[in-house]
């Protein structure tokens, strides 16, 4: 049985040890590395290629937001779950804009955390209800964004569906019978039309505007 391979990034040793004990093979997971700060998380992400990275926000040297941004820039398919003590709206916006796949609080139960990891591993986005409300950004007028969203071509909607399902460019290309470079071009067009910065935000926009 293949386990979900996990990298933990947190500056508190007791937190890392507690998570490692919880995320054991009996739960279908394996902790393959631990990082005490964001810089070490970036290095280990490249060395170990984990399935899911559990990332704290507040760490020395390089914080979780910058580490997430660096990892996603260099490894676009990396799946990062933010685990933090504080539900701070601006930090949540920044880290999701950096490309994180989810955001969960440290006071969550073990079952909730394990389910969040599995959700992120499957390619989906997970947020607390409060963060979902914050990130949909009520200040933005959905009617103003709708025309651009409706400009998506039939092929772009197919690619967007793959993004929502958490597929990589290569997987979308295989599904649609086109080249990965063509998928990449479609993704760029989708991001521009939806006025978002990354695939995570595109998936959220698809749900917000009911595009699929």
Q: Does the structure show a pLDDT above 90 at 149?
A: no
Please tell me the distance from the alpha carbon of residue 170 to that of residue 148, in angstroms, as a whole number. Answer: 26
Percentage of residues of the chain with pLDDT beyond 90: 49
Question: Inter-axis angle of helices 154-164 and 180-194, to 10 degrees?
Answer: 90
Q: Tokens 């902790």: give the residue.
A: 31
Question: 135-161 burial by CB neighbour count: b if 16+ within 10 A, else e?
Answer: beeeeeeeeebeeebeebeeebebbbb
Sign of the C-alpha dihedral computed for residues 3, 118, 162 and 188 taken in this order = negative
Weakest-pLDDT range from 11-25, 73-87, 115-129, 145-159: 145-159
Measured CA distances, 94 to 82, 88, 116, 123, 157 (Å): 12, 10, 20, 20, 26
Q: Does the structure show a pLDDT above 50 at 44?
A: yes
pLDDT attached to residue 139: 45
Q: Tokens 């949540």: give the residue.
A: 92
In order of start, what are the domains of the chain with their CATH numbers? 4-135 (3.40.50.2300), 142-208 (1.10.10.10)
- Kindly state the tokens that stand for 114: 């394990």
- Under the banding of pLDDT at 50, 70 and 90, the label for residue 87 is low
- Under the banding of pLDDT at 50, 70 and 90, the label for residue 85 is confident
Q: 103: part of which helix (H) or strand (E)?
A: strand 102-105
DSSP 36: S
Percentage of residues of the chain with pLDDT beyond 70: 86
Q: Does the structure show a pLDDT above 80 at 42?
A: yes
- Under the banding of pLDDT at 50, 70 and 90, the label for residue 200 is confident
Mean pLDDT of 18-23: 92
If we measure between CA atoms, which residue out of 88, 121, 98 comes closest to residue 38?
A: 98
Mean pLDDT of 134-149: 52
Please tell me the distance from the alpha carbon of residue 99 to that of residue 65, in angstroms, as a whole number. Answer: 9
- Kindly state the tokens that stand for 163: 């993004």
Mean pLDDT of 22-37: 92
Q: Does the structure show a pLDDT above 80 at 90?
A: no
- Kindly state the tokens that stand for 131: 């963060």
8 A C-beta contact, residue 38 and residue 67 = yes
Please tell me the distance from the alpha carbon of residue 33 to that of residue 165, in angstroms, as a whole number. Answer: 27
Regarding predicted confidence, which is higher, 39 or 93?
39
């Amino acid at each position: 049985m293949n386990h979900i391979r996990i990298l933990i990034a947190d500056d508190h040793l007791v937190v890392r040890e507690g998570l490692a004990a919880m995320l054991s093979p009996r739960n279908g997971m394996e902790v393959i590395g631990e990082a005490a700060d964001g810089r070490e998380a970036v290095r280990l992400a490249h060395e170990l290629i984990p399935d899911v990275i559990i990332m704290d926000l507040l760490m020395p040297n390089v914080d979780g937001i910058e580490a997430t941004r660096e990892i996603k820039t260099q490894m676009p398919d990396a799946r990062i779950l933010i685990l933090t003590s504080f539900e701070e709206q601006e930090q949540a916006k920044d880290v999701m804009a950096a490309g994180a796949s989810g955001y969960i609080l440290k006071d969550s139960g073990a079952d909730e955390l394990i389910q969040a990891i599995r959700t992120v591993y499957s390619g989906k986005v997970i947020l607390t209800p409060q963060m979902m409300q914050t990130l949909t950004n009520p200040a933005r007028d959905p009617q103003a964004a709708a025309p651009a969203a409706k400009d998506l071509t039939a092929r772009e909607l197919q690619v967007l569906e793959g993004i929502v399902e958490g597929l990589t460019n290569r997987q979308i290309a295989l599904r649609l019978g086109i080249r990965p470079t063509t998928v990449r071009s479609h993704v760029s067009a989708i991001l521009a039309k939806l006025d978002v910065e990354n695939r995570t935000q595109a998936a959220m926009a698809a749900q917000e505007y009911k595009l699929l």
